């Protein structure tokens, strides 16, 4: 049955999945949501017999209903291939009474690869279906992980170009090296003199520039977005929750229909929202455990019903979760408001005016399946060391936040259901914090020496993504001022502004 997409703020007519992927954000500033959440149409026992790509098809076909079977299978085949260093794509590792769903085996060793390896194919297919003749220019501002994953996904994809702006002095050395060594004639990486907010607002300004949009169109280009508000990123993320359940079932660790819990280290609320969609499709998930670091705006929201971003921004060892405005939460708010776009829009207006809003008691009652928790910096580091001592398994800082929150949840509730923890980055991506958590003596070693040491103690090969940048030549050295971003884009595209 066909599913169309509408804005969470009620503007415009519903559009097809492919049109929503091309647009990214709705014209009224809302996010696209499916008119209804479809139910799984294969039994859990059937799904348990399938490989990742097959599960991906069974889930995605229910959402991307204007893609043909051939188109969708083709996108899936091109995404989940040898770019991943494991045949399983998303393996489960059991450690200390939980199942870690490793979502970091892709090209850039963070979970962003799960969606960003398929988004470019969905987007070029969508462009063909909608008879877009222009070349698509992906603009991205990044604080580290999204930029590299988007670059890797879009590199050398025909009909696309990708431009990434990052804060010149605001990313880790490994993250910068990953980006500036990116190959691909259609890739462009620029450091700006400014922070992440400057990069982000510069990109938003370019998107909103009508004259520039016109100029691009005259020259055969149009902009699109690869960030997590695009439904082309949300839908592929539902897949791995279904896959994880099916895998536990196939291995006889749960029985068919048995409920499990899911713990997700959360920033922009995209990953956990995908788990919520999976639950609403009929996957037997009981609790959705939302784990925050010291930027615990979501924990406070689940406690009190008030979302309040007026607080200090804390820099933590899990930087991909350092965020005070969780964009994808809007999709949940819309749903618990009974799909009342007006109500959602007025709450979002309050957020933009006053930096906070409070939901009604009736809405709060709809959040019963969520549990919010958070981990301090000290608890996070301690958990990495403790888990390593106990089991030899090494997790990254983001995953450790989730692991701490799960331990707290168990203690508080006594719940013994089988639990999947989303493991969102390889420990090799945050080597220094991870190694310092294991032993202070590592503090004096340089980054690549630490990588080799981690490989030894974790008994794990150094991922290709890290091996590659050790010796890779720098291919991008553009730097610009924050007010020169539009000029820089035009220069790269070879058009006069």
Q: Which residues bind ligand PLP (CB under 6 A)?
A: 110-112, 145, 228, 265-271, 320-321, 398, 424-425
| Alpha carbons 303 and 414: distance in angstroms, whole number | 19
Active site annotation includes 247: no
Nearest to 272 by CA among 111, 146, 394: 111
Cα angle 403-408-413, degrees, rounded to a multiple of 5: 125
Nearer to ligand PLP, 107 or 212 (CB): 107
Nearer to ligand PLP, 74 or 280 (CB): 280
The total of other beta-carbon atoms located within 10 Å of residue 112's CB is: 34
Residues 175-187, buried b or exposed e (16+ Cβ, 10 A)? bbbbbbbbeeebb
Question: What's the closest the beta carbon of residue 430 comes to ligand PLP, in angstroms?
Answer: 8
Question: What's the closest the beta carbon of residue 358 comes to ligand PLP, in angstroms?
Answer: 22
Question: What's the closest the beta carbon of residue 266 comes to ligand PLP, in angstroms?
Answer: 4
| Alpha carbons 351 and 355: distance in angstroms, whole number | 4
Task: Look at residue 330 and give its three-state secondary structure.
Answer: helix
Contact in structure between 359 and 305 (CB atoms under 8 Å) = yes
The total of other beta-carbon atoms located within 10 Å of residue 132's CB is: 17
Question: What's the closest the beta carbon of residue 281 comes to ligand PLP, in angstroms?
Answer: 18
In which order are the strands placed within the sheet that holds 92-95? 92-95, 98-102, 419-423, 260-265, 285-292, 370-374
Distances (CA, A) of 458 to 102, 396, 428, 454: 15, 12, 10, 6
Nearer to ligand PLP, 110 or 151 (CB): 110
DSSP 340-364: -HHHHHHHHHHHHHHSEEE--HHHH
Question: What's the closest the beta carbon of residue 46 comes to ligand PLP, in angstroms?
Answer: 29
What spatial distance separates the first Cα and last Cα of the chain, rounded to whole Å?
Answer: 45
- Residue of 112, 129, 148, 343 marked catalytic: 112
Tokens at 160, concatenated: 């696309």
DSSP 383-434: HHHHHHHHHS----HHHHHHHHHHHHHHHHH-----EEEEE-B-GGGGHHHH
Nearest to 108 by CA among 479, 433, 436, 424: 424
Q: List beta partners, residue 124.
A: none
Question: What's the closest the beta carbon of residue 320 comes to ligand PLP, in angstroms?
Answer: 3
3-state helix, strand, coil in the chain (%, to 5): 50, 15, 35
Question: What's the closest the beta carbon of residue 433 comes to ligand PLP, in angstroms?
Answer: 12
Nearer to ligand PLP, 264 or 347 (CB): 264
Nearer to ligand PLP, 195 or 219 (CB): 195
| Alpha carbons 214 and 282: distance in angstroms, whole number | 45
DSSP code at position 250: H
Nearer to ligand PLP, 313 or 481 (CB): 313
Nearer to ligand PLP, 186 or 419 (CB): 419
Nearer to ligand PLP, 144 or 202 (CB): 144
Question: What's the closest the beta carbon of residue 464 comes to ligand PLP, in angstroms?
Answer: 18
Question: What's the closest the beta carbon of residue 79 comes to ligand PLP, in angstroms?
Answer: 18
Nearer to ligand PLP, 136 or 401 (CB): 401
Q: Which residues are catalytic?
A: 112
């Amino acid at each position: 049955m066909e599913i169309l997409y509408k804005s969470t703020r009620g503007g415009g007519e519903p559009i097809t999945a492919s049109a929503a992927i091309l647009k990214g954000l709705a014209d009224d500033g809302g996010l696209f949501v499916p008119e209804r959440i479809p139910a799984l149409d294969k039994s859990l026992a059937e799904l348990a017999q399938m490989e990742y790509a097959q599960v991906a098809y069974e889930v995605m076909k229910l959402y991307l209903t204007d893609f043909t079977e051939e188109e969708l299978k083709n996108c899936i085949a091109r995404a989940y291939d040898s770019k991943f260093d494991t045949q399983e794509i998303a393996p489960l590792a059991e450690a200390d009474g939980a199942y870690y769903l490793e979502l970091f085996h892709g090209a850039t060793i963070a979970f962003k690869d799960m969606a960003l390896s398929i988004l470019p194919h969905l987007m070029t297919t969508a462009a063909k279906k909608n008879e877009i003749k222009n070349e698509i220019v992906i603009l991205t501002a990044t604080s580290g992980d999204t930029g590299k994953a988007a670059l890797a996904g879009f590199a050398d994809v025909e009909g696309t170009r990708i431009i990434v702006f990052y804060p010149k002095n605001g990313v880790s050395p490994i993250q910068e090296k990953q980006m500036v060594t990116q190959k691909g004639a259609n890739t462009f990486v620029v450091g700006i003199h400014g922070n992440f907010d400057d990069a982000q607002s510069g990109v938003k300004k370019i998107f909103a520039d009508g004259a520039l949009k016109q100029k691009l169109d005259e020259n055969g280009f149009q902009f699109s977005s690869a960030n997590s508000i695009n439904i082309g990123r949300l839908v592929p993320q539902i897949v791995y929750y279904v896959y994880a359940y099916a895998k536990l079932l196939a291995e006889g660790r749960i029985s068919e229909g048995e409920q499990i819990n899911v713990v997700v280290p959360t920033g922009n609320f995209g990953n956990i929202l995908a788990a919520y969609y999976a639950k609403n499709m009929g996957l037997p998930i009981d609790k959705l455990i939302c784990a925050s670091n010291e930027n615990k705006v979501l924990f406070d929201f689940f406690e009190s019903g008030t979302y309040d971003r007026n607080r200090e921004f804390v820099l933590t060892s899990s930087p991909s979760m350092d965020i005070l405005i969780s964009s994808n939460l809007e999709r949940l708010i819309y749903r618990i408001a009974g799909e009342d776009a007006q109500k959602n829009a007025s709450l979002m207006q309050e957020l933009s005016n006053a930096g906070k809003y409070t939901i009604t008691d009736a809405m709060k009652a709809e959040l019963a399946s969520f549990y919010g928790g958070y981990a301090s910096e000290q608890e996070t580091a301690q958990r990495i060391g403790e888990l390593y001592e106990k089991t030899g398994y090494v997790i990254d800082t983001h995953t450790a936040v989730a692991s701490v929150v799960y331990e707290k949840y168990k203690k508080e509730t006594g719940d013994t259901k089988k639990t999947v923890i989303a493991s969102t980055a390889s420990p090799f991506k945050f080597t220094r914090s991870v190694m310092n958590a294991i032993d202070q003596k590592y503090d004096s070693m340089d980054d690549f020496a630490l990588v080799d040491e981690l490989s030894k103690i974790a008994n794990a090969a150094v991922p290709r993504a890290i091996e590659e940048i050790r010796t890779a030549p720098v291919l991008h050295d553009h730097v610009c001022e924050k007010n020169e971003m539009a000029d820089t884009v035009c220069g790269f595209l070879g058009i006069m502004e």
